[in-house]
């Protein structure tokens, strides 16, 4: 199991940032590896809602399903992937107002679990996961701080 954390600060109010993150259809705007995202079932922004994503993790497009597991407005949005296979991902965005009164700090904690044969290679994944996390952080920051 590998864990990564990223942090973004924006002058946007917490309710606006929460709404943006809770709507997974926004992810193609800031996640370089998400080609498209659409509502698959449930009510957008509510726990249990599922999204269908077309992702391109290593140059090849594949289908993926992700579930919003927790939606504690305005403080937290949590998720997990539902795909069978050698990798599962779960995580949460934790939001809090900054000392300025109108800004928001976003802390993203992500856990990547490998299964089967890939577990043998897990020890080598650290640098590439950190690189991906850094890019998400940079791109989310650019989206929230135009």
3 state SS for 75-104: CEEEEEECCCCCEEEEEEEEEEECCCCCCE
- Largest distance between two CA atoms of the chain: 48
Task: Show the tokens assigned to 114.
Answer: 């490998």
pLDDT of residue 74: 95
pLDDT at 115 over 90: no
Report DSSP state, residue 13.
-
Q: Which CATH superfamily is domain 2-27+71-144 in?
A: START domain (3.30.530.20)
123 three-state secondary structure:
helix
* Mean per-residue pLDDT of the chain: 91
pLDDT digits 0-9 by tens, 66-91: 999 999 999 999 999 999 888 899 99
pLDDT digits 0-9 by tens, 98-114: 977 789 999 999 998 98
The phi and psi torsions of 57 (rounded to 5 degrees) equal -70, -40
What residue ranges do the domains of the chain occupy?
Answer: 2-27+71-144
């Amino acid at each position: 199991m590998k864990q990564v954390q990223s942090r973004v600060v924006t002058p946007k109010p917490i309710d606006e940032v929460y709404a943006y993150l809770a709507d997974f259809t926004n992810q193609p705007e800031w996640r370089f590896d998400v080609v498209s995202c659409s509502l698959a079932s449930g009510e957008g922004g509510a726990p249990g809602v599922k999204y269908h994503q077309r992702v391109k993790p290593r140059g090849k497009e594949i289908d993926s399903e992700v579930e919003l597991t927790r939606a504690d407005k305005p403080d937290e949005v949590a998720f997990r992937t539902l795909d069978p296979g050698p990798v599962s991902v779960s995580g949460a965005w934790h939001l809090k107002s900054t000392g300025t009164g109108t800004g928001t700090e976003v802390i993203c904690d992500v856990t990547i679990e490998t299964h089967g044969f890939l577990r043998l290679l897990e020890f080598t994944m650290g640098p590439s996961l950190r690189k991906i996390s850094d890019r998400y952080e940079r791109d989310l920051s650019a989206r929230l701080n135009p």
